[in-house]
Chains A and B, each alone.
Chain A
Amino acid sequence: MTSVIVGATARPYRSDTMIEYRIHGRGGQGSVAAAYLLASAAFEAGHTCQAFPSFGAERRGAPVTAFVRIDNQPIHLRSQVRTPDFLIVQDDTLLLDRGITDGLKPGGAMIVNSRRSDEDVAEAFSCRTKCIPATELALDYIGRPIPNTALLAAFLTMTGHLPVDALAAALKGRFKGAVLEKNLALVDAVAGMVPAGAWKESEDA
């Protein structure tokens, strides 16, 4: 039997380039879809990616978590994201849980679907924060209170992690026709609302 393949010694398994995200939301808000969209966008931009939900039995309205990893080489790690670089929070009532920023890396940042001021939330959680009224924007542009597209658009615009075009490409893989057009319009609108590249340095952090 010659099935044993002895691999190369001390192959570098893990890069320092991996970026980890944790998405918090409520069942029905498209948190898992957001994770898949972000991963798809990363793939469209030529990265490797991994996205998965917290595998719960949650019903509508219950808090849910989803995770995304993006890298430039194969991702082996399969645990939940414990030390995220970024947090995406789809519902500001989740900020009532003080533990929401647990594990956030130093220099990390959080984007929140909220009408509260950035400073207010940033002070409360001692991390860089951007709040955008994603539900209202989604209602205006898509007609449904699904905040994920707006949050991702804002996030990518601010961090410059992935070109916003990659998000558009990911949306094209998921939606068709009028729904796609509305989502793309929302992406454009949000990209114009937030300071492009404001969090860019954190990519090098």
Chain B
Amino acid sequence: MREALEGSQAIARAVALCEPDVVAAYPITPQTHIVENLSKLVADGELHTEFVSVESEFSAASVVLGAAASGARAYTASSSQGVLLMAEVLFNIAGMRIPLVMTVANRAVSAPLNIWNDHADSMAVRDSGWIQLHCENNQEAVDTTIQAFRISQETDLPVMVCMDGFVLTHTMEVIDIPTIAQVRKWLPPFEFKRALDPSDPKSLGALVGPDFFPEVRHSHHAAVTKALPVIEKTDRSWARAFKRGCGGLLTTEGPKDAKIGIIAMGSTVGTLRSGLAKTEDAGVRLIKLRAFRPLPEEALREATRGLDHLIVIDRAISPGLGGILGTEIKAVLYGTPDAPRIHNHAIGLGGRDIPETIVGDLLSAIEDPDATPFSVFDADLTMLPPEDR
């Protein structure tokens, strides 16, 4: 049913539709409304789940680990410092290949303290071995959350649904929430073959020495890579059932013969689309990357074919290197004949508002002879002392 809902409220409703057995979360801005809404659904008797009110994000992640390992459908959510406090457990969950779902309400990482949106938190756990999917709007966030439960149990991998903090979590928009009957029909009951069970005792989390560790890592890498077709297939199945998709691994829009492309993840894509619409005859291909882990290398090469210039938008940086997505796209395109020139810019760090006019500025920068391969595009360097510029 279509409703005007705040993003966080919609996510809580979507999670409830998946009927998790165990939910554990610790409040942090801007994820709080998700946890509050879930707590309310439990209190109102609309969601029957074991809601574990933990004393830290570290325990939130640990609780869902234990719950999923015991055969329960489990869910958690966090942001920023919370994601970093969870980091050790996140690697552990993925390394043990435990299927569960987590929402990351993307937020900058301290210091300096900043509660606003960028992607520093989920990027910090990029190498944890989780599947990471990004959402452009709240409808996609709802649909991706439900899809994540299916992807997770099909791949035996944990899935992180990344949605921009505040920009999506605190925004009310019109969202179509599926019915419980639709979701039950589409989402199979939770099953985890290696679940702990006294009638068939197994040991999970053994010590693995050098004689087998590389093989474990290889199989983990292979498992995450093999999730690519599962993510696509799941979105197609969703689109068949609900008459709307979330864009599989990535989507492209704009003229086929475009020479300039812009690639971004999350809600920024919407603003860029809006800006492009106002830029007369820009002839720009807009690429929305949904799957950041696994990174769809082949699809990215196909999506950027024919471009002379590719503007890669990052919402987080790796100090001393530059943009993270930008660096990865360069790696993907390395050795590709006629690969486009990459213009890598970080924008909107720590919640700096991204106006649609930024599109024109980004396009102009392509021709700028003084442009550096990477920039924090919307930073006003005159605010800094000369030695820091």
* A–B in direct contact per CB < 8 Å: yes
Q: Given A3, A52, A77, which contacts B166 in the complex, CB threshold below 8 Å?
A: A52
In the complex, the answer to whether B172 meets A39 with C-beta atoms within 8 Å is yes
Least CB separation from B248: chain A residue: A3
Count of chain A residues near B, Cβ 8 A: 36
**Chain B 267-290 per-residue mask, 1 if CB under 8 angstroms from chain A, else 0:** 110110111111000000000000
> In the docked arrangement, what's the CA distance between A55 and B351, Å?
9
- Min C-beta distance of B291 to chain A, whole Å: 9
Given A3-B296, A76-B274: A11 and B174 interface contact (C-beta under 8 Å): no
Chain B residue numbers with a CB within 8 Å of A42 are 4
In the complex, the answer to whether A52 meets B250 with C-beta atoms within 8 Å is no
- Min C-beta distance of A48 to chain B, whole Å: 5
In the complex, the answer to whether B167 meets A52 with C-beta atoms within 8 Å is yes
Least CB separation from B291: chain A residue: A3
In the complex, the answer to whether A40 meets B172 with C-beta atoms within 8 Å is yes
Query: Binding site of A, secondary structure by majority: helix, strand, loop or mixed?
Result: loop
* B56 in contact (CB, < 8 A): no
Given A43-B3, A53-B170, A55-B30: A78 and B267 interface contact (C-beta under 8 Å): yes
> In the docked arrangement, what's the CA distance between A6 and B170, Å?
31
Q: Given B3, B228, B271, B276, which contacts A78 in the complex, CB threshold below 8 Å?
A: B271
* B227 in contact (CB, < 8 A): no
In the complex, the answer to whether B274 meets A14 with C-beta atoms within 8 Å is yes
In the complex, the answer to whether B303 meets A4 with C-beta atoms within 8 Å is yes
Least CB separation from A53: chain B residue: B170
In the complex, the answer to whether A14 meets B278 with C-beta atoms within 8 Å is yes
Given A9-B255, A36-B172: A1 and B278 interface contact (C-beta under 8 Å): no
* A50 in contact (CB, < 8 A): yes
In the complex, the answer to whether B170 meets A13 with C-beta atoms within 8 Å is no
Count of chain B residues near A, Cβ 8 A: 49
Q: Which of B342-363 contact A (CB under 8 A)?
A: 351, 353-356
> In the docked arrangement, what's the CA distance between A6 and B303, Å?
9
* A80 in contact (CB, < 8 A): yes
Given A9-B255, A13-B276: A75 and B173 interface contact (C-beta under 8 Å): yes
> In the docked arrangement, what's the CA distance between A44 and B271, Å?
25
In the complex, the answer to whether B171 meets A50 with C-beta atoms within 8 Å is yes
Q: Which of A10-43 contact B (CB under 8 A)?
A: 10-14, 35-36, 39-40, 42-43
In the complex, the answer to whether A14 meets B302 with C-beta atoms within 8 Å is no
Among A11, A12, A78, A82: residue with most chain B CB under 10 A = A78
- Min C-beta distance of A10 to chain B, whole Å: 7
In the complex, the answer to whether B296 meets A1 with C-beta atoms within 8 Å is yes
Chain A residue numbers with a CB within 8 Å of B74 are none
Given A3-B296, A48-B174: A13 and B277 interface contact (C-beta under 8 Å): yes
In the complex, the answer to whether A3 meets B249 with C-beta atoms within 8 Å is yes
- Min C-beta distance of B144 to chain A, whole Å: 15
Q: Given A48, A57, A78, which contacts B354 in the complex, CB threshold below 8 Å?
A: A78
Least CB separation from B256: chain A residue: A6
Least CB separation from B290: chain A residue: A3
> In the docked arrangement, what's the CA distance between A79 and B354, Å?
5
In the complex, the answer to whether A77 meets B298 with C-beta atoms within 8 Å is no
In the complex, the answer to whether A76 meets B273 with C-beta atoms within 8 Å is yes
- Min C-beta distance of A143 to chain B, whole Å: 25
* A51 in contact (CB, < 8 A): yes
Q: Which of B286-315 contact A (CB under 8 A)?
A: 296, 298-299, 302-303
* A61 in contact (CB, < 8 A): no
In the complex, the answer to whether B255 meets A5 with C-beta atoms within 8 Å is no
Given A12-B277, A43-B4, A55-B116: A49 and B173 interface contact (C-beta under 8 Å): yes
- Min C-beta distance of B310 to chain A, whole Å: 14
* A7 in contact (CB, < 8 A): yes
Show 26 residue pairs from A and B whose CB-CB distance is below 8 angstroms, ordered by the A residue: A1-B302, A3-B248, A3-B249, A4-B252, A4-B299, A7-B254, A9-B256, A12-B277, A35-B172, A36-B4, A39-B4, A39-B172, A39-B173, A40-B172, A48-B173, A50-B173, A52-B167, A52-B170, A55-B30, A55-B116, A55-B170, A76-B270, A77-B271, A78-B171, A78-B354, A79-B353
The 3 closest A-B pairs by CB, nearest first: A13-B277, A43-B4, A7-B253
Interface residues of B (CB under 8 A from A): 2-4, 6, 29-30, 115-117, 166-167, 170-174, 228-229, 232, 247-256, 267-268, 270-271, 273-278, 296, 298-299, 302-303, 351, 353-356
- Please name 15 further chain A to chain B contacts, defined as beta carbons within 8 Å, in addition to the given A4-B303, A13-B277, sorted by A numbering: A1-B296, A3-B249, A3-B251, A4-B252, A6-B252, A13-B276, A14-B277, A44-B4, A50-B173, A55-B117, A57-B29, A76-B273, A77-B270, A78-B167, A78-B271
